[in-house]
Every structure is written in structure tokens, then in C-alpha cells.
A = this chain, B = another copy of it.
Amino acid sequence: MIVPSLLLEVGNHQVEVAETLIGVGRFLVIFVAARALAELLVRFQLPTILGELVAGVLIGASGLHLVVPPETHAELNQGLIRLVSTLSAVPSDAVQPIYDETFPILQGVSTLGLYALLFLTGLESELDELVAVGAQASTVALAGVVLPFALGTFGLMAIFQVDLIPAVFAGASMTATSIGITASVFGELKYLKTREGQIVIGAAVLDDILGIVILAVVVALAGGGQLEIGPIVKLCIAAALFVVVALALSRTAAPAFDWVLDQLKAPGEVIVASFLVLCLCCFAATAIGLEAALGAFAAGLILSGSKRTHAIQTAVVPLVSLFATIFFVLIGTSMDLSVINPADPANRSGLVIAAFLFVVAVLGKLASGWSFVSDKPTNRLVVGLGMMPRGEVGLIFLGLGTSAGLLTPSLEAAVLLMVIGTTFLAPVLLRLVLSRKTDVAEQPA
């Protein structure tokens, strides 16, 4: 957070020093841990996002207690308290309150990172290229959303007597597909331009849209504490309209955006104008009762039709590298992994739920590979595996559900294990399957 102190209030100089040390120190801990684990996982050809998540668990409330979100009520690491207290001359029992008071700034920055990431995802959606495999991709996306959602929600309610809202949310969190992880594995193995690669990427984009609409609906409804048919229909229509308008605007508004940029003369015009579009879309989404996250994604979709997408990407990527990392690390820090410790008999049912979610998450997406009709030979196993990793999209669901208090600790841990498991398993299995079939690679779609 870096010293809001001086800019915040006339305060005790020692307190300001402590705030600075805590704010800067927290950034240091987060980035050293996240980077170290990301570098490790990259060397095993695994997604860096897993490293950021595990880094969060290691430094967080289930680990070293160096970064503890106030809502976990975990105590700060004693060594850290002593260090800050010694360097700033603030009494040691004042360190935790200062720590808690400055934490919202870190969370605000991490939310900025989340929206920047969603904006970038929207921006990178190449809508035109997906039309060629549109029919197959739509079927795969729909099957990949409906199967895990229905199986997960009803299974949790029928078998495990989970309440409606948490069951719906856990089900919804299984609908995601991470474009980033699948695209990077396919790209690495030169499989991106094959028929399977195009279907999976197309389905993943549609999946993002469907998933984020489901998210917007579920979070908005959960705010009311119950699910009723009337508001669901209204919100679904609002969300669908919002996305349709965004898609229409990406054809018509993007040229206007480019024209405005051409008129601007003060420097920094690309990032400032993009940020304004992002804010406008977030405001509009919130004002009509949807999640601001949907607005961020829609802003990216709208600008994906711009001539300047490359410049926008260049400007936004550093924001994502810094702040989305904080978002993923913070998810790890707030996880209570003691609820899945198998040594404690009280946790057995939680572990069974986690295993159930994982199996449904794997089978639901695998089955989507067999959901479409095709007149050309297509490796359905590759399509199913490509749809499997939940990655950052699953984590965004988990993060929003956790902070809205929609999930029990054991369900939170189960969803986290499901996300980690699928994100880990998919690249490993894809490499195994594809490396046997390198002869089909790079056939045009």
C-alpha cells in the first residue's frame, strides 16, 4: 500500500512510519513469495497462477501469518510485529490494529487488478475467428456449463444436504474455463490453430461470458439471501442484454473510441481513455444491479474492436502483472486449510465433498468434449481436457463468493482444491495426450 499515512491524516509520526513499513513490507512479502513459487512452477511447465495461490496459502492465515486479511481474525506473525515495533518505535500491541486498518487499501488495489484482468480477457477475445467453429464451440460451452453446474448443485444438495445458496455458488464456480491456461498449453505444443484448439478457445470465450453472467446473477441474488424465479429471470435478461449491447458496441463504439483517441493530444491517452471506458461499464453494470466484474469484462469486449488493442494491452498488462497477482495471493491468504486436514475426523465429510466436487468438475468438462456433432474427425478427449482447467476464472468466483460470505469454510476449501486440482491436472494430461499425437498437430482447422 505504501504509506497512505502521510496523505491520510495528521497523525503521530511513529504511526505513519509503522504504516509505511507495514504497507511496503506486505508488498515485499507478497511479491517475493508469489514470484518464487511462480518461477518454480514455470520450470515444471505448470501455470504460474498455481504458484501465486500456493504462495498466498504459505504466507497467509493457514501458513506463516505474514499476510492476514482482517476477516480471517488470524493473529499477525510475532516476528513481524516485533520488527515493525522496533523500527517504528510503536508499541507492539498497536501493530495489529494499524495492520488491520491499512488492509482495505491492499484489497482495493487487488480489486483493481481483478478488473484489469477481466478487461484484458475481454480485450483479447477474438470474436471473428470464432465464428468458423461457432456451432461446435457453443455446444461445448453450453454442455461445459450446464453439466458441472447441474451435477454439482444438485449433488451437493441431494447427497450432502448443503443449503441452496452455497450449493448454487459452488456449482457456478465449476462452470468456468481458464482461457489463459489452455491457450498457453496448446500454444506451446503448436496445437492452437488445430480444429480442437479453435473449438476449445471459442468455447472458453463463450464460457467466460456465460460464467460471468451466472456470477452476476448469483451474487446479486445472494445479496437478498434467497433465490426467487422473478428476479433471476430479470437479472438474466439484464445480464444477457448487457453482453449483447457490449458485443454490438465492439463493432460500432470502437471506431468512435479510436476517433476520440486520435483527437487527444495530452500524453497517456490510451491508458486513461481505456480506464474511463472500464469505469463507465463498471458503473453501468452496478447501476442496473449486476456485478461490476461483468462491466470490466464488457469494457474489454467493447474495445476488442479498436485499432489500438495492441497499445491498450501493452499499457494494461503491467497493471495485471502487479495487481492481479495480489488478488490471487490474497485468495490463498484467506483460506482456512485446517478444515481439510485429514487427521481430524471432523473434517472427513468436508474431504468427501471436496472429492465429489473434483470428480464432477473433471467429468462434467470431459463430457462436454462429446457433446457436439462434427463432420470432420475431431479428438474429443483433447477438447474435453482443454475445457478442464478452472484457473483464474474459478478463483475469481471463489474470491467473490468467499468475501460475500456465501460459502462455508469447508466448501471454500473444497472449491479451492477443485480449482487447484483441475488447473494442475489439465496441462499435465493434455501434454501426455498431445505428445502422442504430434502427427496431427498444426493441421488447419
Contact = CB atoms under 8 A, between A and B. Distances in A.
A369 to B, nearest CB: 28
A272 interface: yes
A24 interface: yes
A289 B325 CA distance: 30
B283 A21 contact: yes
Contacts of A322: 268, 271-272, 275, 319
Given A13-B224, A24-B282, A266-B48, A35 B272 contact: yes
A42 B279 CA distance: 24
A373 interface: no
A9 interface: yes
B272 A403 contact: no
A343 B279 CA distance: 40
A405 interface: yes
A28 interface: yes
A312 B267 CA distance: 18
Contact of A267 (B48, B220, B223): B48
A359 interface: no
A275 B6 contact: no
A219 interface: yes
23 contacts: A1-B108, A2-B112, A3-B286, A4-B104, A6-B219, A6-B400, A7-B400, A7-B403, A10-B71, A10-B404, A13-B220, A13-B223, A20-B282, A20-B292, A31-B279, A35-B264, A48-B267, A87-B287, A102-B108, A268-B322, A272-B325, A275-B322, A314-B314
Given A10-B71, A48-B266, A268-B318, 4 more contacts: A7-B400, A16-B223, A39-B264, A268-B322
Interface of A: 1-4, 6-10, 13-14, 16-17, 20-21, 23-25, 27-28, 31-32, 35, 38-39, 41-43, 48, 51, 71, 87, 102, 104-105, 107-112, 115, 219-220, 223-224, 264-268, 271-272, 275-276, 279-280, 282-283, 286-287, 289, 292, 314-322, 325, 330, 399-400, 403-405
